[in-house]
Amino acid sequence: MREGWHRRIDWPWVGWRTSWDAAFDASQSSAFTWFWRGEVAAVVVGVVLTVVLIRSARLGEAAFVGGATLLMSCSNYYASGIRTMLVAFPMYLLLGRVATRRPWVRPVYVCLSAPVMAAFVVAFTQGQWVD
């Protein structure tokens, strides 16, 4: 990956700065811009989820998510963060626990995730998916 993708191990803030700059670079195509925004969002979700799991005393799950987030963020730019969040199973378990206690969460989740899912399907079928 170092030669073909020019990717190397680096401090997380270096990857953050590079990915953040790319996420808001108007000179790129929109597919690449949204790819970088997704990568930044994946790291933010990973960090927030890790903190929530630590505060909930779910230390094993926090170690799993925190380790995965740290691993994907320790390079000179973020890549594969969106795929990494697919294996962040504690997020889905936490969502299930919250939805059990607060029934209004289920319809809100469906109303928020359905348009996002549709947008991803449209982007993928038009060949605009980068990751």
- CA-based radius of gyration for the chain: 16
* Tens-place pLDDT, residues 98-127: 999 999 999 999 999 999 889 888 878 887
3-state secondary structure at position 129: coil
Dist CA 90 CA 93 (whole Å): 5
3-state secondary structure at position 10: coil
The residue assigned the tokens 């060949």 is 127
Encoding tokens for residue 15?
A: 């990857």
* Tens-place pLDDT, residues 31-80: 677 788 888 999 999 999 999 999 999 999 999 999 999 988 888 888 88
Nearest one of 69, 23, 29 to 49, comparing CA atoms: 69
